[in-house]
Amino acid sequence: MRIAFLTAPEGVEQVELTDPWQAAVDAGHKPVLVSTQSGEVQAFHHLDKADTFPVHEVVGETSADSYGGLVLPGGVANPDFLRMDDTAVAFVRDFFEQGRPVAAICHAPWTLVEADVVRGRVLTSWPSLRTDIRNAGGTWIDEQVTVCDHGPNKLVTSRKPDDLKAFCETYPDVFAGEAG
C-alpha cells in the first residue's frame, strides 16, 4: 500500500518522519513523501537543523485516493505550517471523507484540528494540544498510542518521540487491516 507522509517544507521532527517511514517499509508498504512544495524538506532534531529529504509528490498535485493511508509526523513547526495551508488541510480532510486510515504523532493533531476531523474521536498528542483537541470536539487521553475507530476510518495517534516504538508497532497493522 502507498502511504502518504505529509510534511511542510521545514520543521518536521526527523525521528517522527524516519522511524514511522521505516516501519512502513518493514511492513511492506510504500511510503511517499508529500509536501506543500517540491524539492526537499528540512527536518529538525527538536530546534536544530537535521537532514533534508526529497519530496516525491506535491500536495496540490496529488489526492488522497492515490494512497491507502496518511501519516502526519510532528515537530512543532511542521503541523503549524500545514494547518495554515488550505490545500494541505483539504488533503488531510479527504482521507477522513474517503474512510482511509490516518496516523499522527506529537504536534501533528493540530492539522487534524484545522481539518475539523477530531469531533467525536478519542486521541492523544503532545500534552499542549489537549485544549485544542477538546475545543474541536475530541476527547484527549494521555496514552502512548491510541486507535480510534469512531467514524469512517481509523485514527492512530501518539504523544511524543519516546512513544515511537508503540506508534510504529501499531499503525502499520491498523493500515493493513483497513486495506483488507
State the 10-residue block means of pLDDT for the chain, 180 residues long.
Answer: 97 98 98 98 96 98 97 96 98 96 98 98 98 98 96 94 98 86
- Residue 91: the pLDDT is 98
Residues known to be catalytic:
106
Instruction: From 68, 70, 69, 19, select the one nearest 43 (Cα to Cα).
Output: 19
Classify domain 2-174 at the CATH superfamily level.
Answer: Class I glutamine amidotransferase (GATase) domain (3.40.50.880)
User: Do 97 and 65 meet the contact criterion of CB atoms below 8 Å apart?
Assistant: no
- Residue 88: the pLDDT is 98
Domain ranges of the chain: 2-174
- Residue 129: the pLDDT is 98
